Amino acid sequence: MRECFEVRDTDAGGRIGELTVPRADVTVETPALLPVINPNLDTISPRRLATEFGAEILITNSYIIHGDDTLHERALEEGLHELLDFPGAIMTDSGSFQLSEYGEIDVTTEEILAFQRQIGSDIATPVDIPTPPDVSHERAEADLETTQERLEIAEATDTGEMLVSAPVQGSTYPDLRERAGRHADATDLDVFPVGAVVPLLNDYRYDDMVDVVAAAKRGLGADAPVHLFGAGHPMMFALAVAMGCDLFDSAAYALYARDDRYLTVRGTRQLADLEYLPCSCAVCTAYSPDELRALPDDERESELAAHNLHVTFAEIRRIKEAIRAGNLLELVEQRARAHPTMLDGYRTLLDHAPQLERSDPVSKGSFFYTSHESARRPEVVRHHERLERLSVPDTLLLTEGDSPRNGDFDDSWRVEPPFGPFPRALSRSYPLTAEVPERTDRAALEAA
């Protein structure tokens, strides 16, 4: 059992948990957003992230700090928390992103872990190999072996109270991702980033992203905090949380603002195209679109970044409330209607319903049937499995309505699409209290 992470609530594969970060002496509630801070840029200051947006944790790049003489010396002298002026937990990346972009970096796992500890990082990252999608299985396997060797180096390194992440690689091969998850879980490392998914997200391949995460989760234990590395758009957070991800890092809030892009939970809009601001955050209630467009470039970038953060943090809170209420998958379904590829992702998520069912609570408040995808939810899978345990009378009448008062049958069961037949005594138990439309669709009938 990992002492640094405790799960408090679950719904589907999603969970609310507590990540204890001993070096920072803080406990971060998950799901959590880690805003990405470039130490050379100050779009939104780390102090403001904490005080205005409620950020409990952020991520910055130790490789950039290591390679910049001025930042290097300041970080060693002042420490990372003083350098960034941030009171919460700080995670550091190792340069793996630069490795994926440029093909090489001039630092080893031992060197960068030692540097991360020296500057006061709370969660460190070794130098893994982020294998892109769709490479050959042979290359992906070779890269994975290198990553696993580096995890073993990290495990053998004295890191004190600093937590250390164990990236899970394997490209788009489920067998490799599951193997990588199992290997990482067997180490005594602490946080488990699913890496190299950014190309999938950039290409809207949410179905492949779900398969990658599902495979990694099969290898990881239930007590493993999972970080979806590079995922920062609020549109896909609910889907990723439902699959079992706990941590997200967002550079999108700043990068998109630089290009006048405006984040929403339904996608990205260009500021130039907006006649109204469909948001009630502090920025959107203070400005009209014309007023935002008229601001000086640096001021407009800062205000757009603030809006993007407000939207992103609000979605994290919305997801937590959905987990508490037991309706996370209904939120995922709403988000899935924003884009056809998100719908592909949701349908792929439901392909893994038996896997989700293992962590899904057996009782919740209500089940809303809102589309034919609802017929494939984990609750339906569980009910069908439990039907096999019931003893069926020799003569049984199935009805959709009330039980007939007289009849030549041993019993009468009710049929409720998409769940199928069940004894009437169970009618008031979850999920058979489901709210189902009067006009039943074919998927519900077939499931029943």
| CATH at residue 299 | 3.20.20.105
Residue 39's pLDDT is what?
Answer: 87
Give the C-alpha separation, 4 to 25, whole Å.
12
Residue 95's alpha-carbon distances to 61, 102, 124, in angstroms, are 7, 10, 11
CATH code for the domain in which residue 432 is found: 3.90.1020
> 11-69, pLDDT tens digit by residue?
999 999 999 999 999 999 999 999 999 988 889 999 999 999 999 999 999 989 998 99
93 is catalytic: yes
Give the C-alpha separation, 369 to 443, whole Å.
11
Residue 381 lies in a domain: yes
Give the C-alpha separation, 313 to 31, whole Å.
10
Domain co-membership, 315 together with 370: no
Strand bridging mode 192-194 / 226-228: parallel
Domain co-membership, 38 together with 129: yes
Catalytic residue among 11, 93, 246, 249: 93
Residue 60's pLDDT is what?
Answer: 97
Domain co-membership, 382 together with 306: no
- 3-class SS string, the chain: CCCCEEEEEEECCEEEEEEEECCCCEEEEECEEEEEECCCCCCCCHHHHHHHHCCCEEEEEHHHHHHCHHHHHHHHHHCHHHHHCCCCEEEEECCHHHHHHHCCCCCCHHHHHHHHHHCCCCEECCCCCCCCCCCCHHHHHHHHHHHHHHHHHHHHCCCCCCEEECCECCCCCHHHHHHHHHHHHHCCCCEEEECCCHHHHHCCCHHHHHHHHHHHHHHCCCCCCEEECCCCCHHHHHHHHHHCCCEEEECHHHHHHHCCEEEECCEEEEHHHCCCCCCCCHHHHHCCHHHHHHCCHHHHHHHHHHHHHHHHHHHHHHHHHHHHHCCHHHHHHHHHCCCHHHHHHHHHHHHCHHHHHCCCCCCCCCCECCCHHHHHCHHHHHHHHHHCCCCCCCCEEEECCCCCCCCCCCEEEEEECCCEEEEHHHCCCCCCCCECCCCCCHHHHHHC
Residue 417's pLDDT is what?
Answer: 83
Domain co-membership, 200 together with 249: yes
Q: Are 42 and 25 in contact (CB under 8 A)?
A: no
Domain co-membership, 312 together with 171: yes
Domain co-membership, 321 together with 366: no
Domain co-membership, 249 together with 125: yes
Residue 342 lies in a domain: no
Domain co-membership, 283 together with 406: no
Give the C-alpha separation, 13 to 213, whole Å.
11
Q: Which residues pair with 415 in a beta bridge?
A: 421
Residue 333 lies in a domain: no
Domain co-membership, 315 together with 367: no
Written as one letter, the residue type at 25 is D
Residue 124 lies in a domain: yes
Q: Are 36 and 42 in contact (CB under 8 A)?
A: no
Q: Which domain holds residue 403?
A: 362-447
Residue 275 lies in a domain: yes
Residue 152's pLDDT is what?
Answer: 96
Give the C-alpha separation, 56 to 88, whole Å.
5
CA atoms within 13 A on the CB side of 421: 14
Domain co-membership, 178 together with 37: yes
User: Which are the contacts of 385, defined by CB distance < 8 A and separation ≥ 6?
Assistant: none
Residue 334 lies in a domain: no
Residue 409's pLDDT is what?
Answer: 73
**Total of domains in the chain:** 2
Residue 348 lies in a domain: no
Give the C-alpha separation, 333 to 283, whole Å.
28
Domain co-membership, 285 together with 426: no
Look up residue 382 and give its two tokens.
């569980």
Domain co-membership, 376 together with 301: no
Written as one letter, the residue type at 253 is Y
Residues with pLDDT less than 70, the chain: 1, 97-105, 401, 403-407, 441, 444-448
Residue 202 lies in a domain: yes
